[in-house]
Amino acid sequence: MSLFSLIFGILSSIISIYSMLCLANIILTWIPAARYTKVGQFLCAITDPYLNFFRKLGWFQFGNVNFSPILSIGLLSLVGSTFAQISRAGRLDISSFLQGIVGLLWQIIFGIGIIVFLLALIRLIVLVMKNGVTPYNSPWNHVDAILSPFCYKFSLPFAKISKKTFSYRTALAVTVIAMAFALAATYVFLGFLTYLCKQIPF
């Protein structure tokens, strides 16, 4: 093994370890008290500067839920796999790198999309079963605070076409249907991009 390959192999291993530390930090956010332990403080000290950069991006914020960890971990995964490929082949394979970028795009879109889609679908089913009635102290009110701004924005073009004002339940239904088609179309499109990347001879 050449020194060049060895260096990129070590860098790939370091990034893999750092990715696991970032993932551990993300899990700790679900257990606030754990962040104040010595282990938690150590994880925060070495991973927060990186994770906070992505947390500040408003594109991945839906209500009180932040999906930026999907991007931050996905990017580390892309860089780590690229370094590992360089270590094995001794050079950068453009085709594999572009495939990795397409894979990262799908990971981000699918990761966020499927969570919002399933949440909207479950909420729609509950609303239909309850005839649109939500008690004041229901935990679904917290879900609505996250979903309603997104659903109204997502369904706005359809409301303009129909020249009607959508109720929350209608906005949920439109969002569920439209997102199902959008995720399927994105899957086909990115699959086609992956195919094109595989045709690159270098």
Q: Is the separation of the CB atoms in 144 and 123 below 8 Å?
A: yes
Residue 172: name the closest of 155, 156, 188, 189 by CA: 155
Q: What is the pTM of this model?
A: 0.73
The predicted-structure confidence for 114-146, as pLDDT tens digits, reads as follows: 988 999 999 999 988 888 778 878 888 888 888
Of 42-46, 58-62, 135-139, 147-151, give the range with the top mean pLDDT. Answer: 42-46
The predicted-structure confidence for 143-169, as pLDDT tens digits, reads as follows: 888 888 888 888 988 888 888 889 899
Residue 76: name the closest of 24, 27, 131, 16 by CA: 16
First to last CA, the chain: 22
- The residue type of 73 is I
